[in-house]
Amino acid sequence: MKGVLGLPVAACIVAFGILAFGIGGFDPSARAQEAPPGDAANGQRVYLADGCFTCHGRVGQGGNYYGTTPTLAKTELPFEGFKQQMREPVRVMPAYSQAVLSDKEVADIYAFLQTLTGRRPVKDFPILNN
């Protein structure tokens, strides 16, 4: 089923979630409260074992493996949007069905990503402030 601009409905939902919750004004503590409890240590193990790092980096920094790969460290995407992206991904990311990656493991990966250092402000990079 197609949604806005001919994109699949799932893609529109994820994009709306990013726009609605990922830009200013959203309280990250509220996002964390909505996520199911996860085991960050196991999340790191699964993230590395399942190869998430090959595109998203070992510390969720993103990259350019297949075009611009999203930064996942301290993701502002709500858990349900994150899980939806895992199950029905947009673009070239492989789908991870529940048979491959349980909801608990998805929650663990999400918990791991929340422990990572997020993007740093430009002012923290002296070379960019000359």
Q: Would residue 70 count as lying in a domain?
A: yes
Q: Would residue 123 count as lying in a domain?
A: no
Question: Higher pLDDT residue, 82 or 15?
Answer: 82
What is the pTM for the complete model shown? 0.69
Q: Would residue 47 count as lying in a domain?
A: yes
pLDDT, tens only, 70-116? 899 999 999 999 999 999 998 889 999 999 999 999 999 999 999 99
If one counts the domains in the chain, the total is 1
Residue type, 108: D
Q: Would residue 129 count as lying in a domain?
A: no
Query: What is the pLDDT averaged over residues 54-74?
Result: 86
Separation between Cα atoms, residue 22 and residue 111, nearest integer Å: 17
118, 62 contact by CB (below 8 A) = no
CATH of the domain at 106: 1.10.760.10
Q: Would residue 84 count as lying in a domain?
A: yes
Q: Would residue 18 count as lying in a domain?
A: yes
Full residue range of the structural domain in which residue 78 is found: 8-118
- Contacts of range 46-54, beta carbons closer than 8 Å, 24 or more positions apart: 46/101, 46/105, 46/108, 46/109, 47/109, 47/112, 47/113, 50/96, 50/101, 52/109
The size of the chain, in residues, is 130
pLDDT at 59 over 70: yes
H or E stretch covering 76: none
pLDDT band at 13 (very low <50, low <70, confident <90, very high): low
Q: Would residue 102 count as lying in a domain?
A: yes
Question: Higher pLDDT residue, 100 or 35?
Answer: 100
Look-up of token digits 């893609």: 11
46, 86 contact by CB (below 8 A) = no
Q: Would residue 128 count as lying in a domain?
A: no
**What tokens were used for 77?**
């995407």
Question: What proportion of the chain, given as a percentage, has pLDDT over 90?
Answer: 46
pLDDT (0 to 100) of residue 94: 92
